Structure 1
Amino acid sequence: MKLTNFEKETIIRFNEAEKMAVVETCNKKWKKRLRMIAEEFDEAQLIREDEYSVTYRCPKILLLVRKPVIRTEEQKKAARIRAEKNLVKRGKNFEHFM
């Protein structure tokens, strides 16, 4: 049985009294990030894993909520130029990525 996108939830649970949080997710990026965190920090532990989701227990300080970065057109243009120069240095064709 395949889950729909609506069924693929990410749930983060914590309270003010404890320093740990529980994160349950079906999201591939979150699964990868949590696995990397658990490899680097001993405090983060895999609690449960099945074919759809993983559940980790980790310190709340490792979970970050931030506002998105909003770039001006000038900043976007400068980033494109830097990326093109880096690709040219590596001998790659920039148009291939467009």
Structure 2
Amino acid sequence: MKLSRYEQETIVNYNAGEQTAILYTRDKAIMRKLDTLVADFPDKYKQTGQDEVSKTYSLPKSYVSYRKPRAVSTEQRERARQMMIAKNKAKGD
């Protein structure tokens, strides 16, 4: 079944009283990432449900994070650009 971009939602649900978060998704990219985590870390990530368009997972609530945006200075950006140019040249040789 083909879902629109709008329908490819992901919902994370948890509360203060429990240590586990529940993640429901209809986004195939998120499913692939979480399926890999379930395979690699079965003690932490578990698939708890599935239907034809969605999957549900459980994971430790502490794995849900909120981060401030990364600030990159003009100098850092230029150094990274020069480093990638050098690596690409070296790879081409």
| Fold match by TM threshold 0.5 | yes
Displacement of 1:60 after TM fit? Answer: 0.9
Residues 19-48 of structure 1, C-alpha deviations (whole Å, 9 max, x = no match): 000001122332233223222321210112
Matched, 1:84 2:85: yes
Matched, 1:2 2:27: no
Secondary structure of the 2:88 match is helix
CA RMSD in angstroms comes to 1.9
Displacement of 1:67 after TM fit? Answer: 1.8
TM-score of the two chains, using structure 2 as the length reference: 0.80
Aligned equivalent of 2:36 = 36
List structure 1 runs of 4+ shifted beyond 3 angstroms.
none
Residues 35-82 of structure 1, C-alpha deviations (whole Å, 9 max, x = no match): 232223212101123343221011112222212212122221111111
Superposed counterparts of 1:1-98, under 5 Å = 1-41=1-41, 42-91=43-92
Q: Which residue identity lines up with residue 13 of structure 1 in the other structure?
A: N
Tell me the distance in 2 between the aligned counterparts of 1:6 and 1:78: 38
Q: Gaps spanning 5+ residues in structure 1: where?
A: 93-98
Secondary structure of the 2:92 match is coil
Aligned equivalent of 1:96 = none
Identity %: 33
Tell me the distance in 1 between the aligned counterparts of 2:7 and 2:58: 21
Greater RCO (CA < 8 Å, at least 6 residues apart):
2
Secondary structure of the 1:67 match is coil
Task: Point out the more displaced range, 16-25 or 68-77.
Answer: 68-77
